[in-house]
Amino acid sequence: MNIFEAIMQGIIQGLTEFLPVSSSGHISLYQHFTGNSGEGALLFSAILHLGTLVAVFTAFRKTIWEMLKELVFMIRDIFTGKFKWKEMNGPRRAIIMMIISLLLLIPFYIFKDFFEGISEDSDIIVEGICFLYTSVILFLSDRCVKGSKKFEDIKGKDAVVVGIFQGVALLPGVSRSGSTISSGLFCGFERETAVQYSFILGIPAILGGCLLEIKDAAEQNALAFEPVNFILGFAVAAVVGLCAIKMVNWLVKSDKFKIFAIYTFILGIAVIGIGIFEHAVGMNLVDYLKK
């Protein structure tokens, strides 16, 4: 991997982790067409994800800080017998609901190897189908009646719905942010609340994914560290990710979410078409064009 490739993957990761278009799908496509795929990409992918985590903490630092303080108070109340489900404030309810959403990921991680195999294989048709799925849920969520639920109004069933949608987003081509924001809108969340819930919920999910990627890379003896490329990728993913978060927040509130539905629909059709062509000719499109 050269410096240009590191920067390009950092830009792709930073944009697509938060824009509802699927970071895993775009990284998978980039690696497919450049030949920079397979097991050796695991560690660099983990570094890029850590860069996007920095973007989340920066963008929502005030809300995250309030939730961290409330977590300490909540633990104290649990051990002193003062915790009351019906009397939770916004930050405390958000913590509980996010825990429920995260627990829903556990059954999906049973199929982790299956999801990783799709992103690392040479067939991109499944990614194309997943892009079309993302397009559908983005289109439907954009047409939802505007909800009014804030953190203090979120119910357990809402958290379950968001958790299930997030689990499906483990498939490459299915956007995690698009899935969780859309499912929040389906449940009647206020638009700003849906964005905040989605991105803060992504912190442990992204961090857990990073740790798993590092673990898998270690097991495959693929821990070769390239300081310049890794630092560049990390920094670019963080800066671009912060800009993407601000863009999504504005687009969701201004009813322009369908832009991404159109984009992922066109991309999905194109990817499926290219995948079918590659099956027909028996080689990667880039290799075919080089003939």
> What digits encode the pLDDT tens for the residues 253-282?
887 778 899 999 999 999 999 889 888 888
Taking the C-alpha atoms of residue 114 and residue 216, their distance in angstroms, rounded to an integer, is: 14
Contact (CB, 8 A) for 180 and 169: yes
Domain count, the chain: 1
Q: For the ranges 32-46, 72-86, 159-173, 243-257, which has the lowest average pLDDT?
A: 32-46
> What digits encode the pLDDT tens for the residues 133-173?
999 999 998 888 788 899 999 999 999 999 999 999 888 88
Predicted pLDDT at 23: 72
> What digits encode the pLDDT tens for the residues 64-80?
999 999 999 999 999 99
- 187, pLDDT greater than 60: yes
**Which phi and psi (to 5°) does residue 190 adopt?**
-60, 145
Q: Which residue has the tokens 């690392």?
A: 120
**Which phi and psi (to 5°) does residue 222 adopt?**
-120, 45
Q: Which domain holds residue 115?
A: 3-290
Predicted pLDDT at 39: 47
Predicted pLDDT at 223: 57
pLDDT band at 249 (very low <50, low <70, confident <90, very high): confident
Q: For the ranges 3-7, 140-144, 201-205, 243-247, which has the lowest average pLDDT?
A: 3-7
- 222, pLDDT greater than 70: no
Name every residue whose Cβ is closer than 8 Å to that of residue 231 and which is 6 or more positions away in sequence.
Answer: none
pLDDT band at 57 (very low <50, low <70, confident <90, very high): very high
Q: At what angle do helices 191-219 and 90-103 cross, to 10 degrees?
A: 40
How far is it between the farthest Cα atoms of the chain?
A: 72
